[in-house]
Amino acid sequence: MGALVPATPHPTVELRRVTAGGITLNVALTGEGPAVLLLHGFPHTWELWTDILDGLAAHHRVIAPDMRGIGASDPAADGYDAGTLATDAEALLEALGETSATVVGIDAGTPPAFLLAMRRPELVRRLVLMEALLGRLPGAEGFLAHGAPWWFGFHAEPGLAEHVLPGHEARYIDWFLDSGTLGHGVRPALRDAFVRAHTGSEALRRAFSSYRALATSAQQIQAETDSGRRLTMPTMTIGAHPVGTALEHQVRPLADDLTGHLIEDCGHIIPLHRPDALLGLLRPFLAT
């Protein structure tokens, strides 16, 4: 369980194994106050949020899990669709004794954050969605004009990527970390933590499983919107490169109270590329 040791020392962070909804998650906890739940994407672990933890923990209880099957959370054979991941998040909050939380999702963490808010509006006090698309909802046509990003198809083909990549994981993960920070990369310790979490065919299979569940997730998202439910809580979308404002355009027709932001000169991995800019948006949103 080497992944239980943070790549960067966090003297205020407690790593706890929490059983929630039949699975055991590795969860980073810090701070006191109203809960903020942070849901990471690919190819990350909870340490994606390293550079904003202290800024949030000053006034909030920050909850940052390794998502199902990722990092030091227990392996899971299935359940990587957005609906099940939303249920994981709901169960985690319940296991930690939280009756409401601000939920923040980025990349693959965005669809489950959205579904949790649609299904359990009394549980989600505020919602922040970043750098992802929500299924096939209208609004992302410009982003998708030339097709989905190349890795979506590669990751979605069962048995392919996890057969091809073993032995080359570091180079592959580096590509995402470099492109997601517009060439800046991330600190070596964090980079090594992300590589460790995605090394080996089984770890890769689990990491790619959310891509293989995209059709199911899209159906779940469509079903919630077709039901007439809306995002009734204050909601914020944050875009960067490459998603830009596409997510905002998808969410705006569904939200009663939406604020959209675009961080200029920022790559996809907002919490590591532009943490100060992100905190500058999150803190006032959480305080209102």
pLDDT tens readout for residues 59-105: 999 999 999 999 999 999 999 999 999 999 999 999 999 999 999 99
Residue-wise pLDDT tens digits, 16-74: 999 998 999 999 999 999 999 999 999 999 999 999 999 999 999 999 999 999 999 99
Q: pLDDT averaged over the chain? A: 95
- Asked whether the bond before 9 is cis by omega within 30 degrees of 0, the reply is no
Report how far residue 42's alpha carbon sits from residue 203's, in angstroms, rounded to the nearest whole number. Answer: 12
Any domain includes 5: no
Edge-to-edge order in the sheet of strand 258-262: 14-20, 23-30, 61-65, 35-39, 101-106, 124-130, 235-239, 258-262
Q: In the structure, what pLDDT confidence band is assigned to residue 7 with cuts at 50, 70 and 90?
A: low
Any domain includes 86: yes
More confident residue, 238 or 4: 238
Residues shown for the chain? 288
Any domain includes 3: no
Any domain includes 7: no
Any domain includes 6: no
Residue 284's Cβ-count burial label (10 Å; 0-12, 13-18, 19+) is exposed
Report how far residue 155's alpha carbon sits from residue 173's, in angstroms, rounded to the nearest whole number. Answer: 13
**CB contact at 8 A, 274 and 181:** no
Q: Kindly tell me if the per-residue pLDDT of 159 is higher than 80.
A: yes
Residue 108's Cβ-count burial label (10 Å; 0-12, 13-18, 19+) is buried
Q: In the structure, what pLDDT confidence band is assigned to residue 3 with cuts at 50, 70 and 90?
A: very low
How many distinct structural domains can be found in the chain? 1
Beta strands in the chain (DSSP E): 14-20, 23-30, 35-39, 61-65, 101-106, 124-130, 235-239, 258-262
Report how far residue 22's alpha carbon sits from residue 34's, in angstroms, rounded to the nearest whole number. Answer: 25
Percentages helix, strand, coil for the chain (3-state, rounded to 5) are: 45, 15, 40
Give the CATH number of the domain where residue 162 resides: 3.40.50.1820
Lowest-confidence segment of 3-12, 152-161, 261-270 by average pLDDT: 3-12
Any domain includes 2: no
Question: Can you give the residue range of the structural domain that contains 56?
Answer: 14-287
Residue-wise pLDDT tens digits, 216-265: 999 999 999 999 999 999 999 999 999 999 999 999 999 999 999 999 99
Mean pLDDT, to the nearest integer, of 101-129?
Answer: 98
CA atoms within 13 A on the CB side of 144: 15
Any domain includes 76: yes
Q: What's the confidence (pLDDT) of residue 6? A: 53
Q: What's the confidence (pLDDT) of residue 5? A: 47
87's tokens:
């249920």
